[in-house]
Amino acid sequence: MSESLGEQDLNTGEIRNWRSIVTLLVFIITNIVVLVPFHIPIYIPRRLVETVVDALSAVRIIPPRKAQYQLDPAAEGEDVDDDDQNGKIKHKRFLRCNFPMNFVTAPLIADLFLLAILAIGREEVRGGTLGANNISPLDIMAFFITLAYIAISIDASGLIRFLAFKVLQKGGKVGHRLFFYLYAFFFGLGSFIGNDPIVLSGTAFLAYMTRVSSNIIHPRAWIHTQFAVANIASAILVSSNPTNLVLAGAFEIKFIVYTANMIVPVIVTAIVLFPFLLYIIFADPALIPFSIEMHELSEEAKAKKPVNPNIPHARGLAEEEEGNANEDQVKLLSLEEIMNPFLDKGGAAFGAVIMTATLVTLLALNASTQNREHYPIFWVTLPAAFVMFCWDVAFGWYHREETREIARKGRLEVQKARREHMDRVEEELRLAALGQKEQGSIDAYGTRLVLTQSPEPHLQDQPSPSGSRDGGGGGRGHSTSNTEDDITVVADASKQVPTILTSEIDDRRTLVSTPPREPSPSSVRIPSDNQLPNGQGSTTSAVTMIEEKQEITNTHASQPSSQRQQGTILSEEQIFSNRMSQELAWQQDSGPATLVSLLTKTYRWTQDTFPTVTAVVAHLPFALVPFAFTMFILVQALVTKGWVPVFAYGWDHWVNKTGTIGAIGGMGFLSVILCNFAGTNIGTTILLSRVIQAWQKIHEVNHTPISDRTFWATVYSMAIGVNYGAFSTAFSASLAGMLWRDILARKHIRVRSLDFARVNLPIIAISMAVGLAVLIGEVYIIRDNSPYKPVE
């Protein structure tokens, strides 16, 4: 049960205590880290790492270290024993681990630090988890996750992409009309199911649509408009955004009352914003052309049966070809994605019914409860999410044979394509190496390399047992080139004497194999999928290396031929080939089963059998849960340490000077700014809700009640600010912003932080000005200056 507001401490004398000062500094630093995440390098003794890895492999939790990878020897900056006659390099004594500092880890570390110095204790932890002052974090998170499952399940059924396709058909090729239809579509759907599903599916749809249009030069207008309108629409319903849940809980606002007060400012904002976007902000035919010229989809492609994108490798070769440099092929695949969308009609219809019934039940129960009656709202959403989950499981099991067959065929196509690509790459490397004979060599750092003979001639003389994979002299003749925290293995194709290339500057030594003399390269076999110890992740790594090779090849080809001198050169292409050879060799011999391999196979089986459930669970915002709880605890620490009352007194002085209009403008401005600097819009809502609660308590203690008009003007201006603030100046202003950026990056659309702020600045300025102006008129019409009553 949450504490009542009357128990809140308004004593500001606590701020003189050193623990209170540290608490405020920790809160500020934490929000800076959330705004600008980074990694902290942690150096761990190599022997400790080897001991732990060997212990885990001994109990068969992970694969054996030698079968998986050899720990890296020294690279740049490592101690080298120059007197070693065997030419061996000492290992680094420490391995570097990059620890992420982001919106998940930073608040958690901050809470642990404050607990360690006794700045916070049981009271703050309890208030930040179970609840305090009418805010119940546990209730809010359970409600949001369960409702998110239903919304994302609807998205996984293909309904949003299918409706977007129908809107695209309706809009035709008239640019301005299509822009309006998509604007209205995203606004209407976002007000119903929230902004996260719109970001998940709508962003990918627009990325494909703008790619297949020949005269949309840049997708800026479409993607920024979609992100802005989705966040504007999410301000209407309490269930559409966790910030609305925090706010409604803090001030005991019934859901229907919240919607009644927010719907007019939000709709007017959407109406006024559209012409500004179309005719002022994005008034450029290169962004929104009058007539959109789109590539046509062939009749053969239209006749294809669309496949469920939730099934792994469902598109087969399309997944491989999408990353290739063939722009025409990429556009064709994108066109198929939007013009021939998959739709699970049963799942979409059932999900829509469940979502509608859930929202109607929530509104009805919330409106019918008496004042001061508190029932956890997830009591409604949890059963609904369970019913949706059961539907998805039953649907997946019923169609398991079909989905497994699609996944199996897709994997075979992908493996075949990768094997052919590998063969082509190996042939190119062989021909490039042969062409560099009797030419000088320069290493990757531009340092001249001196050709010397290997001090271990037994590598040539001793035969290689065919079945051995160990790295000893009796192995397969693999030589290794190791760099910091990475490993490269050079495949030996002809039992030739390895060559050592020594840098003239710093004596870096690198073992390489002389190019094979046979006219045809040894074929590289990619194992079947059931042989891979780590499933598709391993083959994905190989493809990543192929992409790296393509970039390196282009760079190397641009070097002048005068730099190539006599000798054998350790080129980037060879490094790539060596890495891939080691990767494939490891894949061929997975060794005994381990816990990791069993979990990988189980996950792959789940993907093939229950593709919808797996996709939905993978997209659930679980990272929001630890972030929200830890931020609640941090803000509760500010309350108990006297800082929130200090902020409340400052706010009280502002309102006394500026009145109701000043309260609306000040809180709207403050909420937007803090979204970018106070731990996303969720952290901002938590903090400002506590400040307003303390402000109300100050007037209650002084027997000078706040007017009803001023109080609710402050609350609803904050509601507008924290929703609109998501599309202000920083991606980290909302979790949806970070998700939006990541989706675009996967679709090869890079949005820089500066561009994000520059484009959004006029949009947020217009939106806030319109929304707050309408709110001023609304509160002066329907509110009066009577004293505010705590429960509406």
Least confident of 335-339, 399-403, 771-775: 335-339
End-of-domain residue from the set 402, 428, 445: 402
Burial of 626 (0-12, 13-18, 19+ CB in 10 A): middle
Q: Is the dihedral of CA 689, 695, 701, 705 positive or negative?
A: negative
End-of-domain residue from the set 102, 126, 156: 102
Cα-trace Rg, the chain: 31
Query: 42 and 145, same structural domain?
Result: no
Distance of CA 632 to the CA centre of its chain: 23
Query: 74 and 206, same structural domain?
Result: no
Give the SS3 label for residue 780.
helix
Query: 145 and 68, same structural domain?
Result: no
Count of beta carbons in the 10 Å neighbourhood of residue 70? 14
Q: Inform me whether the pLDDT recorded for 84 exceeds 60.
A: no
Burial of 328 (0-12, 13-18, 19+ CB in 10 A): exposed
End-of-domain residue from the set 352, 378, 402: 402
Q: Does some domain include residue 58?
A: yes
The number of domains in the chain is 3
- 473 CB-near residues (< 8 Å, 6+ apart): 456, 458, 459, 462
Least confident of 34-48, 75-89, 317-331: 75-89
Q: What is the pLDDT of residues 308-336, one digit of tens each?
A: 888 887 776 665 555 554 555 555 666 67
In which band, very low, low, confident or very high, does the pLDDT at 440 lie, cut at 50, 70 and 90?
low
Query: 482 and 379, same structural domain?
Result: no
Question: What integer pLDDT is reported at residue 251 of this predicted model?
Answer: 87
Q: Does some domain include residue 698?
A: no
Count of beta carbons in the 10 Å neighbourhood of residue 537? 12
238-269: burial string, b at 16+ Cβ within 10 Å, e else: bbbbbbbbbbbbbbebbbebbbebbeebbbbb
Nearest to 693 by CA among 669, 721, 718: 718
Query: 445 and 394, same structural domain?
Result: no
Query: 142 and 52, same structural domain?
Result: no
Query: 398 and 296, same structural domain?
Result: yes
% of the chain with per-residue pLDDT over 70: 72
Q: Does some domain include residue 656?
A: no
- 104 CB-near residues (< 8 Å, 6+ apart): 623, 626, 627
% of the chain with per-residue pLDDT over 90: 23
Query: 467 and 436, same structural domain?
Result: yes
Rounded to an integer, what distance in angstroms lies between the CA atom of residue 408 and that of residue 314? Answer: 9
For residue 500, what is the enclosing H or E element?
strand 499-503
Q: Inform me whether the pLDDT recorded for 747 exceeds 70.
A: yes
Q: Inform me whether the pLDDT recorded for 572 exceeds 50.
A: no
Rounded to an integer, what distance in angstroms lies between the CA atom of residue 56 and that of residue 40? Answer: 25
Question: What integer pLDDT is reported at residue 386 of this predicted model?
Answer: 94
- Residue 703 Rama label (left phi>0; alpha psi -120 to 50; beta): left
Query: 536 and 571, same structural domain?
Result: yes
Count of beta carbons in the 10 Å neighbourhood of residue 17? 13
Count of beta carbons in the 10 Å neighbourhood of residue 783? 18
Rounded to 10°, the helix 595-609/400-435 angle is 120
- 773 CB-near residues (< 8 Å, 6+ apart): none
554-581: burial string, b at 16+ Cβ within 10 Å, e else: eeeeeeeeeebeebbbbbbbbbbbbbbb
342 — phi, psi (to 5°)? -80, 140
User: Could you tell me if 175 and 291 are in contact, meaning their C-beta atoms sit under 8 angstroms apart?
Assistant: yes
Q: Inform me whether the pLDDT recorded for 343 exceeds 70.
A: yes
What tokens were used for 735?
């979790």
Q: Inform me whether the pLDDT recorded for 676 exceeds 60.
A: yes
Distance of CA 25 to the CA centre of its chain: 28
Give the SS3 label for residue 274.
helix
- Mean pLDDT across 498-508: 43
Question: What integer pLDDT is reported at residue 112 of this predicted model?
Answer: 94
- Mean pLDDT across 387-404: 91
Q: Inform me whether the pLDDT recorded for 389 exceeds 90.
A: yes
Query: 93 and 142, same structural domain?
Result: no
In which band, very low, low, confident or very high, does the pLDDT at 342 lie, cut at 50, 70 and 90?
confident
- Mean pLDDT across 363-383: 77
Greatest mean pLDDT range, 321-325, 382-386, 515-519, 541-545: 382-386
Question: What integer pLDDT is reported at residue 766 of this predicted model?
Answer: 95
Q: Does some domain include residue 297?
A: yes
Rounded to an integer, what distance in angstroms lies between the CA atom of residue 313 and that of residue 322? Answer: 13
Q: Does some domain include residue 705?
A: no
CA angle 252, 257, 263 (to 5 degrees): 130
- Mean pLDDT across 480-494: 37
Kindly give the residue spans of alpha helices, DSSP state H, lying in 296-377: 299-303, 317-321, 327-339, 345-368
Least confident of 61-75, 661-675, 715-729: 61-75
Question: What integer pLDDT is reported at residue 333 of this predicted model?
Answer: 65
Domain extent, residue 530, equals: 416-588
Count of H-run helices and E-run strands, the chain = 30, 7
Q: Contacts for 518-523 with beta carbons within 8 Å, 24 or more apart?
A: 518/493, 518/494, 521/423, 521/426, 521/427, 521/430, 521/493, 522/491, 522/493, 523/423
User: Could you tell me if 406 and 533 are in contact, meaning their C-beta atoms sit under 8 angstroms apart?
Assistant: no
User: Could you tell me if 723 and 243 are in contact, meaning their C-beta atoms sit under 8 angstroms apart?
Assistant: yes
- Mean pLDDT across 465-485: 39
Distance of CA 657 to the CA centre of its chain: 44
Q: Inform me whether the pLDDT recorded for 106 exceeds 60.
A: yes
- Mean pLDDT across 711-721: 94
Rounded to an integer, what distance in angstroms lies between the CA atom of residue 198 and that of residue 221? Answer: 16
User: Could you tell me if 665 and 715 are in contact, meaning their C-beta atoms sit under 8 angstroms apart?
Assistant: no
Q: Does some domain include residue 756?
A: no
Rounded to an integer, what distance in angstroms lies between the CA atom of residue 718 and that of residue 247? Answer: 9
Least confident of 201-205, 354-358, 433-437: 433-437
Rounded to an integer, what distance in angstroms lies between the CA atom of residue 578 and that of residue 510? Answer: 13
Q: Inform me whether the pLDDT recorded for 293 exceeds 90.
A: no
Rounded to an integer, what distance in angstroms lies between the CA atom of residue 113 and that of residue 120? Answer: 9
What tokens were used for 486?
């990475």
Question: What integer pLDDT is reported at residue 169 of this predicted model?
Answer: 78
Q: Does some domain include residue 43?
A: yes
Question: What integer pLDDT is reported at residue 207 of this predicted model?
Answer: 83
510-522: burial string, b at 16+ Cβ within 10 Å, e else: bbbbebbeeeebe
In which band, very low, low, confident or very high, does the pLDDT at 265 lie, cut at 50, 70 and 90?
very high
Distance of CA 324 to the CA centre of its chain: 23
Rounded to an integer, what distance in angstroms lies between the CA atom of residue 409 and that of residue 295? Answer: 29
User: Could you tell me if 288 and 278 are in contact, meaning their C-beta atoms sit under 8 angstroms apart?
Assistant: yes
Q: Inform me whether the pLDDT recorded for 508 exceeds 90.
A: no
Query: 36 and 144, same structural domain?
Result: no
468 — phi, psi (to 5°)? -90, 145
Query: 331 and 466, same structural domain?
Result: no
Task: Please give the model's pTM, rounded to 2 decimal places.
Answer: 0.71
Question: What integer pLDDT is reported at residue 746 of this predicted model?
Answer: 78
442 — phi, psi (to 5°)? -135, 135
User: Could you tell me if 199 and 739 are in contact, meaning their C-beta atoms sit under 8 angstroms apart?
Assistant: yes
HSE value, Cβ hemisphere, 13 Å, CA-based, for 25: 9
- Mean pLDDT across 58-83: 56
Rounded to an integer, what distance in angstroms lies between the CA atom of residue 16 and that of residue 18? Answer: 6
Q: Does some domain include residue 195?
A: yes
Burial of 7 (0-12, 13-18, 19+ CB in 10 A): exposed
Nearest to 258 by CA among 130, 128, 362: 362
Give the SS3 label for residue 374.
coil
Question: What integer pLDDT is reported at residue 671 of this predicted model?
Answer: 93
Q: How far is CA 568 from CA 442, 579, 603, 739, in A?
A: 9, 18, 45, 47
Rounded to an integer, what distance in angstroms lies between the CA atom of residue 523 and that of residue 427? Answer: 9
What tokens were used for 484?
């910091």
Mean of pLDDT over the chain: 75
